[in-house]
Amino acid sequence: MKCAFFMALLSLQFCCCGCWPYRFTTFPAVAGRVIDDNTGAPVDGVEVLVSREGYRFAKDASDPVTHELKPGATPQPPPMNEAIKRALPLIVSTTADGAFAIPRQTRWGLFVFLPVDYLSPGGSLVIRREGYHDLMVDVRSYEPVDLGTIRLKPVPRATAPSQ
């Protein structure tokens, strides 16, 4: 009887050790500056959205026997409409100098054993403004990310036919 009680107590202690609330990073802090690709001028009013839809490898990107990635395999961006659909309600706009900063996104959860994020936090940034081509950037990091200068390509204006 004592042995069964001791084993039950030991099992309970093993299962409950290290259980505590933990604040997980779901998307790192990101900063950057958006400029016009043609003129180099900062672009004001650009919307920067955080999307949970991240880049993924194609199904045939890994060897079926070894399950290792094939040489040259690169993750592919999700369709733009899916990335926009899965965007968080947080939308940041660039300032007059083209700069933006997104704070780190977190969530609380119960973690068992060691407080380590098993999945790399991140997703995609969707960068868009009327008159420019939309741009998507893959972001996966535990640390804050500085994207530096991001060049947005203007959409060519339709010209009137000459007479």
pLDDT tens sequence across 38-93:
999 999 999 999 988 888 777 777 888 887 888 888 888 888 888 889 888 888 99
In order of 15, 41, 76, 116, 140, the CA distances from 109 in angstroms are 17, 43, 30, 12, 20
Q: What is the mean pLDDT of residues 118-123?
A: 68
CATH class belonging to 20-152: mainly beta
By DSSP bridging, strand 122-128 and strand 47-51 are: antiparallel
Which comes out higher in pLDDT, residue 149 or 57?
A: 149
Residue 75 pLDDT: 82
147: pLDDT confidence band, cut at 50, 70 and 90? Answer: very high
CB 43 within 8 A of CB 119: no
Residue 40 pLDDT: 96
Q: What is the mean pLDDT of residues 102-117?
A: 71
Q: What is the mean pLDDT of residues 142-150?
A: 92
Residue 163 pLDDT: 52
